[in-house]
Structure 1
């Protein structure tokens, strides 16, 4: 594992509690060497997977034309989703409307500049036959998503940011065709990756643990 790239001086707890979904603070001007992404992926590949199958695949896009293809599909999906979300907020305002509107503004910004982000990383997993299983799919995605989150953490430690997105999946087949992804490999997450404008990310506001904790039953 290469360790030539600078690392932030953060404890494990600090990395875990300050890795945020970064959108407006992505640095669109600073180049991201492919090596820093593969360095972080080396860490991500230590994540667990069912039966240790390690069926994951990682598609890293730095080519402007390919990023544009993915970004256009993402935008189409996002704005349909955002329109529905805005209508829902208008009909029934959430308890924390200010935060909801701030998140919506941030997400809209990301959709608008997606192809300008230095790198897009798609996390995918091999599925025999290509058809997703019926019913609960936790076992399948549980063999990909922990590694994707480990990638986000490893990027944070290296001074980079990312955001967990999946709205491109509305056009999964079209994107797979454009990128030459086999039908037996299903996409699970799209992560825009860039250095961040500053590295001073803080803990986010969360509901108290007591409101979601259940011990020995519900």
Structure 2
């Protein structure tokens, strides 16, 4: 099966792939064939020394989705209720909207058609910065490529990590049978078709403010 794709240029795809929460269609089924098609594309991403130590755990069982959402909610609810930092720039005006959107996902996470937990062989616990960067660099490009592939087919997701806090990662591993001592989890991604596909560029700080040439 080859799913229909949106008519997006590369630049449009890169600048309009958003963290989608309130516009996830919780009612429309997501065929496994489409998910696997996106994964085949994601597996073309770089991975350190071509180890390909990744594993991708998809969940569409209602009871397991609810159990994972409960784990996520245990960490997310107190975090989202905390006072958020201020920056003194354009980010401050977006913060209430982001928090409101995140709270919506927190309330409805169990309703999404499919969840994904990307995993990588080994554990970076306590590793020095260089090794940790190398480790996650073998998984995160593929995860982002997966989100781009979803977007190009009219689906959306959001990169969440709050379930990993405390005992959450181990609890998720027990729910799904992930060998905790052998694989680390990189996040929890809701997957759904989006309500409309007309996403826009996000308001970001200007590149000139964030770039350095030859010295800091």
TM-score category of the 2 structures, normalised to the smaller one: over 0.9
Unaligned residue ranges in structure 2 (runs of 5+): none
In structure 2, the partner of 1:135 is 128
TM-score (norm 1): 0.92
- 1:94–1:100: 8 Å Cα contact kept in structure 2? no
C-alpha spacing 1:14/1:143, structure 2 compared with 1 (3 Å): same
Post-superposition CA distance 1:135-158 (Å, at most 9, x none): 211100000000000000000001
Q: What residue number does 2:146 align with?
A: 151
SS at 2:4 equivalent: coil
Q: Per-residue displacement from partner, 1:92-148 (whole Å, max 9, x unpaired)?
A: 585444310000000000000001000001111000xx4635221110000000000
1:99 alignment partner, one of 94, 98, 105: 94
1:113 is matched with which residue: 108, 111, 127?
A: 108
Q: Quote the RMSD (CA, aligned, Å).
A: 1.4
**Distance in structure 2 (CA, Å) of the matches to 1:186 and 1:141:** 10
Question: Helix, strand or coil for the counterpart of 2:120?
Answer: strand
The answer to whether structure 1 residue 193 and structure 2 residue 188 are counterparts is no
1:23-74: CA deviations, max 9, x gaps?
0000001000011011000000000011010111100000000000100010
SS of the counterpart of 2:55?
strand
Matches within 5 A, 1:51-70: 51-70=49-68
Distance 1:97 1:212, change over 3 A: closer
Is the 2:124–2:135 Cα contact (8 Å) retained in structure 1? no
| Kept after mapping to 1: 8 A contact 2:154/2:193 | yes
Aligned partner of 2:19 in structure 1 is 21
Which ranges in structure 1 are unaligned for 5 or more consecutive residues? none
- Indicate if the aligned counterparts of 1:176 and 1:182 stay in contact, CA closer than 8 A: yes
Distance of 1:159 and 1:33 partners within structure 2: 13
SS at match of 1:216: coil
TM-score, length basis structure 2: 0.93
1:165 aligned onto 2:157:
no
